[in-house]
Amino acid sequence: MTKKKVAIIGSGNIGTDLMIKVLRYSQNLEMSVMVGIDAQSDGLARAQRMGVATTHEGVDGLIAMPEWNDITIVFDATSAKAHLYNYDKISAFPGKKVIDLTPAAIGPFIVPAVNLTSLQDVPNVNMVTCGGQATIPIVAAVNRITPVYYGEIVASIASKSAGPGTRANIDEFTETTAKGIEQVGGAQKGKAIIVLNPAEPPLIMRDTVFTLSAQADREKVRESIQQMVATVQTYVPGYRLHQEVQFEDIPEENPVFIEGLGNVHGLKTTVFLQVEGAGHYLPEYAGNLDIMTSAAKAVAEAL
């Protein structure tokens, strides 16, 4: 098989971890260029040691390189604001596919376990957020059994695993994740909360998913969730249920009020997840970063 050449824009933690995954574990992707803006960054230095071409002149430097012509997929692991500039430059070259790991969401959301096959021909796809990659599959798993009225997720990540890019994009994180819960997960209304946990030693990523749906066979909902967890594990081995799925009836005579939906009753499903990183470049507690790079790699391999 002829490998497809890829470039990564962003030489920080996410970009560097993704580079290592491509170099060591991908059978159909070839790491071509690592792009940064800081000539002294650890990511660029590591890329050079691993035999990967580099530039510290951003996307403009990438386009000026001879390797550019052969690159078919570009990962953007910068920031929402930077992605707007980067994609404006890349989109001038037909045939280049962009996988956006920022909350910019220029292109449609993609979550490999849910809607991978429907977006094969889209030039720019968005990986939502780490919280979205972890929790949207669960909302979708409930929704394929019974209509989900409301989906709410709480993503708790180690403070040490939240770099400056994550911290600068907190608002975009919550907004983008909420939209992904609706557009990919299938909920009528979505909400997202992120918690930066300062505990020492750092705790691995934990996610809580609440859905309120029409009443349904609880065993079918449970089985659907377990099947979805198994699907995500094919590309994120550290993804698992932290506790058994919990159910609660919200009776019609005592509904809950949800802004935008009004009084709602039905079946409340609560799912507790944890995501342990693979430890390729990042610490194992940084499952929030590992799930993004693992999902992005899965998307690129499918493309």
Cα-flanking dihedrals φ and ψ of residue 126, to 5°?
A: -110, 135
d(CA 250, CA 255) in angstroms, rounded, equals 6
Q: Please pick, among 125, 130, 141, 286, the residue that the annotation labels catalytic.
A: 130
Is 54 assigned a catalytic role?
no
Whether the Cβ atoms of residue 153 and residue 209 lie closer than 8 Å to each other: yes
What is the token pair recorded at 244?
């058994």
**Number of C-beta neighbours around residue 94 at 10 A:** 6
DSSP letter (8 states) at residue 248: E
**Gap between the Cα atoms of 118 and 27, Å rounded:** 23
For the chain, counts of helices (H) and of strands (E): 10, 14
Q: State how far the Cα of 64 lies from the Cα of 53, in Å rounded to an integer.
A: 13
Give the residue numbers marked as catalytic.
130
